[in-house]
Amino acid sequence: MRWLLLCHALCLSLLKASAHTVELNNMFGQIQSPGYPDSYPSDSEVTWNITVPEGFRIKLYFMHFNLESSYLCEYDYVKVETEEQVLATFCGRETTDTEQTPGQEVVFSPGSFMSITFRSDFSNEERFTGFDAHYMAVDVDECTEREDEELSCDHYCHNYIGGYYCSCRFGYLLHTDNRTCRVECSDNLFTQRTGVITSPDFPNPYPKSSECFYTIELEEGFMVSLQFEDIFDIEDHPEVPCPYDYIKIKADPKVWGPFCGERAPEPINTQSHSVQILFRSDNSGENRGWRLSYRATGNECPDLQPPVHGKIEPLQAKYSFKDQVLISCDTGYKVLKDNVEMDTFQIECLKDGTWSNKIPTCKKTEMDEENELGSEQETE
């Protein structure tokens, strides 16, 4: 029994001594079974770890292959693998239902690392000459072969040996992640009383990783109202309110939003002449965005009645801030204001809802008064 234990320990020691690992860092090279082109030894195990620079993968092919045949390659074999998966296991002299030889097959690693292990068992009934293999680093075309969609370029991808880079369409800027295309939209000022504001590229998908600021700034006395259109498509979340993309509206001290999803917000009357709109997008998603129209209305002034023998232009049901009216008189009359006669007189609706002046009166001209007096004397 002692002799058997000693023999077993000695055999394990010899087996461990015959197993070793070779580290290879060249861009190309040759790998051969121990003793090639002579027969390989029994109880042998060698592993070649090949590492090439990032941006390359490894191409492996065999010029000669002659190993012992066995069911499912359980005796002698060559195993090709990465850190995460087995790419191939070869044995025998020709491919059968239960074993596979490389033949003309080329094995590619998905990344920059490949491990090749040759193993032989304790005996060989015949003389097997092993294998002769070659490897080389080949460029990875990241623009066409990248599997991770989230790491691909937003617009344009350019491949070069050992890597790739992204670029953007005109009007876009490359984000600091070097793949996302964003827009610069932080200084949009609207000063007209009516207008339309949209997300960038609407109705096409809006850009990622962007923050857009829109400011409607009108004279004090106006009040801005907003109306979103039917197309409203901002990335949302089924459980958390607007964690990714959103639009938010602020008119001190009120805040509306954040808004997201596919349902447009109801019309908003801000009651303010100054409105800020923030639109934010994260680094994912393909949503169409939004479009809104705005209109500014001012404080209303009281209704006007034209003076006797006079008229107001334009004559309308309601007047609001900045509206102007012109008062004139019928033929033979002059506008009288502060004891001054004039042909016309203009007043304006002010921001506080009052008129800039009172309605003047219409006075008959002196010539018409003299003519009227003369006619009365002749009649007498």
For 82-134, the pLDDT digits (tens) are 998 999 999 999 998 889 999 999 999 999 999 999 999 988 778 899 999 99
Q: Give the integer Cα–Cα distance in Å for 332 and 310.
A: 11
CATH code 2.60.120.290 region(s) in the chain: 14-139, 185-298
Look at residues 185, 180, 220, 214 and name the one whose alpha carbon lies nearest to residue 197: 214
pLDDT at 366: 76
Domain 300-369, architecture per CATH: Ribbon (2.10)
Q: Are 341 and 335 in contact (CB under 8 A)?
A: yes
pLDDT averaged over every residue in the chain: 89
Q: Cβ contacts of residue 122 below 8 Å, gap of 6+?
A: 42, 43
Band of pLDDT at residue 171, cut at 50, 70 and 90: confident
Q: Give the integer Cα–Cα distance in Å for 80 and 96.
A: 19
| Residue 144 CA: distances (Å) to CA of 87, 157, 191 | 21, 9, 47
Q: Are 279 and 212 in contact (CB under 8 A)?
A: yes
Q: Is the pTM of this model over 0.85?
A: no
Return the CATH number of the domain spanning residue range 14-139. Answer: 2.60.120.290
Strands 163-167 and 156-160: antiparallel
Question: Region 174-181: what's the mean pLDDT?
Answer: 91
Q: Give the integer Cα–Cα distance in Å for 186 and 184.
A: 6
Quick check: 6 pLDDT over 50? no
Q: Are 69 and 97 in contact (CB under 8 A)?
A: no
pLDDT at 317: 87
Strands 44-51 and 19-24: parallel
Band of pLDDT at residue 252, cut at 50, 70 and 90: confident
Least confident of 38-52, 147-161, 217-231, 261-275: 147-161
Quick check: 370 pLDDT over 60? no
Quick check: 12 pLDDT over 70? no
pLDDT at 285: 86
CATH (one of 3.30.160.270, 2.60.120.290, 3.40.50.2020, 3.40.50.300) for 185-298: 2.60.120.290
Strands 107-108 and 56-66: antiparallel
Least confident of 124-128, 302-306, 322-326: 124-128
CATH code 2.10.70.10 region(s) in the chain: 300-369
Phi and psi angles of residue 319, each rounded to the nearest 5 degrees, phi first: -125, 140
